[in-house]
A and B are shown apart, each in its own frame.
Chain A
């Protein structure tokens, strides 16, 4: 059977591309690292892929705000291609910097595509932090989180991850639409403040999807917990076959295999 093809988009300052590619390949996909310049010059076509992944990092140094410059490249240079990609029912995932890019490009929450409706701004602590977070899985709509346990464990590593929205109405809308996918929580799933909510996000939001459930963006790094040995205290746990993050990649690839 033909493998699902994943385009892992990179540019200056992208730095989680290789491990994201590795995670997709670990669940049977074929993943290519493609530079934005190759896509803009039409040397590589996003239409040849079923999944588009925006990995973590500091695209263009996050100068002028995290993900901003690459988000604008999507808005001003790749709009048509992306519209077609979405119309074809294909999948997008944005992790950390990738989430920031999707939000700033207006693809999430995505009511008016290519119009920014939410943002990810400087953490309340005003600094970059790397720490592990428990995430409760909400929303039944997102195809990327099917059959995940109630609470999973993934690391965050960012300085600008505080999720905010334009206005209350949009918050209501993403709630009513089941678009909130991940919320920072404690071990038992209860919502708390810092450090459980590492950045001060509204409603402890760590990740959301669009209305279709096919575009997912999240601040935590699922590609950093695909193996048991990436768990911060695996030395005190019973061995598990895989890390909590791997299922997210598997869901995407399985969906693409069945539907695209």
Chain B
């Protein structure tokens, strides 16, 4: 029997869900909706009596104080069904996990009702007003549901559904031995394998040597293992790079740049780099910390909530699967979206509006991060038109583990065990899907690649894993990410061999084929290798947490990957071929320096007005609306929060947390990202991002001594030589500046093929690198925040301000890009950071803020309104650039001369790197200046109690005189929803 229970807020109770939908409708420009009411619907299946349904409803499904329910068998009996309201009911598509189901079933069984079989939910919205059908459809499509995972249903559908399909085993073989090149390409395309002809030929050759055709499962396994996503063939392959007619061949870009710097720096505190699921560095004498940042761009484009939700869920499993498992302690999130005021009429077919993408992504991160109990402490949000069809969603997690749990080793004879969630048809082809470009058909072809997560399943698994780890019950662990079991078991058994019985995998529902089971990317699963003798104890631990443990097979010594379904062999591949048999691919990269021009701009009369505009720019404005939705304080370790200052709403350069509550040692996390510089030159974009991430660490009181970096490349299709050339230049800068600053890379990731098809033309995103930095801080009590502290204190500017406004927000506000991209001056950049670090360590610094987007003016304004204090500043005292800057080796011109900016606006808004605004008490002046002697610095003004930011221009006249609260309002209003 199927029962339907409707639950809604009682009359007189404020319907907060309904109200927020109403606000969303107004956002769509539809003004005719007077009221929105929300109804939660439950479908319960099982041999249940009416009394039992009433008991379930009363005791479990409703809140007795605020809600009421109806048991409904005919549509007209439902809430609001025969009123004046327009009603729509939305349910998940079949096969999409309903996150409520598992806990609801538990709740029902807790009531002593055992005959419940299944539970599904749907949502009903009732809208009052004179609403045309067109508007109603628009509201449904643009606001209430996403057809990638949901659909509009009527009550009749729901009563006729939920009949699980049976699966009857049938071995599927693919004829590739008899296929010519054309057919090979067809097999790849039709099977969504995303393998090119060279690769298909290599597969054909392999099976020819075996004198048989592959099974579908074998082909899928190879496609997944060789995918760009899992194998990074661009970074590990051959690249023919040319620039100004000069050519060179790069063999393995990763090893010859990023990883090379790490190897050469050879820092003793680097524990495990580029090997495991995240990079590991030393924390203290007992613990190590690890850090990983991932992207989840394509899924987030199609289903923002689910994409970001599983993005953060997935990256959390990276530290959990590093070494023998670490405990996640911090999350970071960086997003790039299309402009939030983008006109609907311009939206390419198949794309969601940027505002909807943003709201969905933020909710997805909020849901997963908060429920996992991991504070989200750092991030950035940027906007640009190139991200309309292809947003970027970077998620990162830091973990901590006892030092003796930092390495793993699978052993022959260990059991292959899957723990955590059950397997469904979700996420089929995620690994290969992310290795192709998005089209407007992506949502129908690859919809299955998008999922929603269940953080509680992951949380239960985490608790059990940490306990099992501490009892030494397993020898290795890894997560099921892209490629699912195929990738996890394949990797763990690479050196040995593995045998798996696929019918043992616990399923969410029947009907999955053996191949689907193997490549499903269902979330919240990890694979352990467990010595047989530990199985019993392992089960006890997982049972206590109500978490699943299933034995799937064994790690062998055959060097083969052998899969069975009901004792029939469905896959028999040599690990050697699977992991090393992919042909090395040669790609072409051609760098053509784009001729950008500096704009001819007349200096505005009212620079105060310009400053307000710059502060309102979406890339600079306050992200408080987002930050507050994340729990950034759970675990109790936060020391410097993302928002601080006198009213807890001022921006901070980096986040500091104490992972161990009884220790004053801390972790600092920061990030550098600026795609606009990359439009001019990816080399200097990357250098600037490294500089930014590092100066944020320094600004809050860290040092360069123990800083590690992560790289995350998001680029367009690497088969196109112009895109690939940008990647090569960025990687070269990673090497140059990692070496220069002495900050090694410990991990990274690339997400390529970020393009979107519009009218048959493929539009790439702006090639974007995210540099994340992590540093160990010896004493968090010496942390420095960015808000001005006391009137009368001195304000210093450290570092040179040059005519480097290319890619700046100032130029963007004026509609220009410019040419003079900020560079990093190796003559002093590192020395400034070291000096400031010494000063903060000696507690000479009251506040410090780095100059980044919006330059000196924005930094001063933020420090002023965060502290509730004013300042008087003299631009004539700002040290300006006179030095020469070394260009990368490859360029014909080894040095470029930096221009001395002679205008107030250029000094105010230049985005030159390696600059800090530092507040120092008068009686510390001498001591502070001793530390920065010989470096470019200027004593540019002092803090006042006038609540006014007053800036004097080069000619001594006032050029900015703004009320700090007005400046703050400009900064806050853009993203205040």
Q: What residues of chain A have their CB less than 8 Å away from a CB belonging to chain B?
A: 12-16, 18-19, 22, 35, 37-38, 56-58, 60-61, 63-65, 68-69, 72-73, 76-77, 104, 116-119, 121-132, 155, 157, 164-166, 200, 221, 223-224, 226, 229-230, 232-233, 235-236
Contacts and interface: CB of A to CB of B under 8 A. Distances in A.
B13 interface: yes
B948 to A, nearest CB: 20
A52 B154 CA distance: 47
Given A12-B459, A13-B459, A60 B103 contact: yes
B636 A22 contact: yes
Contacts of B574: none
B646 A236 contact: yes
Contacts of B634: 15-16, 19, 56, 157, 224
Interface stretch (B366-374, B432-440, B929-937, B960-968): B366-374
B544 A37 contact: yes
B463 to A, nearest CB: 8
B65 A165 contact: yes
Given A63-B104, A72-B110, A236-B785, A38 B544 contact: yes
A224 B661 CA distance: 11
A55 to B, nearest CB: 10
A38 B789 CA distance: 51
B455 interface: yes
A133 to B, nearest CB: 11
Most A CB contacts (10 A, CB to CB) among B59, B66, B106, B785 go to: B66
Contact of B638 (A69, A230, A236): A230
Contacts of B64: 116, 119
A256 B66 CA distance: 36
B106 A60 contact: yes
A131 B789 CA distance: 22
30 contacts: A12-B103, A12-B456, A12-B459, A13-B371, A13-B456, A13-B459, A15-B373, A35-B545, A58-B371, A60-B103, A60-B107, A61-B456, A63-B99, A63-B103, A64-B107, A69-B106, A116-B63, A116-B64, A118-B65, A121-B16, A121-B66, A126-B17, A157-B631, A230-B638, A232-B641, A233-B645, A233-B648, A235-B783, A236-B645, A236-B646
A61 B454 contact: yes
9 cross-chain pairs, A with B, having the tightest CB-CB distances, nearest first: A15-B373, A19-B636, A119-B65, A126-B20, A60-B103, A126-B16, A63-B103, A235-B785, A61-B456
Nearest to A115: B64
Given A19-B634, A232-B641, 16 more contacts: A13-B371, A15-B371, A18-B635, A19-B661, A35-B544, A37-B546, A61-B99, A72-B60, A116-B65, A122-B16, A122-B17, A130-B632, A157-B633, A164-B66, A235-B785, A236-B787
B644 A233 contact: yes
Interface of B: 13-14, 16-17, 19-20, 59-61, 63-66, 99-100, 103-104, 106-107, 110-112, 366, 370-373, 454-456, 459-460, 544-546, 627-636, 638-641, 643-646, 648, 658, 661-662, 780-781, 783-785, 787, 789, 847, 867
Most B CB contacts (10 A, CB to CB) among A14, A119, A130 go to: A130
B19 A126 contact: yes
Contacts of A129: 628-629
Nearest to B372: A15
B407 to A, nearest CB: 25
Is chain A's interface secondary structure helix, strand, loop, or mixed overall?
mixed
Contact of A123 (B16, B372, B373): B16
A91 B686 CA distance: 57
Contacts of B366: 128
B375 to A, nearest CB: 9
Contacts of A233: 644-646, 648, 785, 787
A72 B60 CA distance: 8
A104 B107 CA distance: 14
Most A CB contacts (10 A, CB to CB) among B372, B661, B847 go to: B661
Contact of A125 (B16, B66, B635, B644): B16
A223 to B, nearest CB: 6
Given A12-B459, A122-B16, A128-B366, A64 B65 contact: no
A189 B277 CA distance: 50
Given A12-B460, A77-B110, A122-B17, A127 B546 contact: no
B100 A63 contact: yes
Contact of B644 (A76, A128, A235): A235
Contact of A128 (B112, B455, B631, B648): B631
Contacts of B648: 131-132, 232-233
B20 A119 contact: no
Contact of B633 (A61, A155, A164): A155
A130 B630 contact: yes
A235 B106 CA distance: 46
A70 to B, nearest CB: 9
A164 B19 contact: no
Contacts of B644: 232-233, 235
A63 B373 CA distance: 16
Nearest to A236: B789
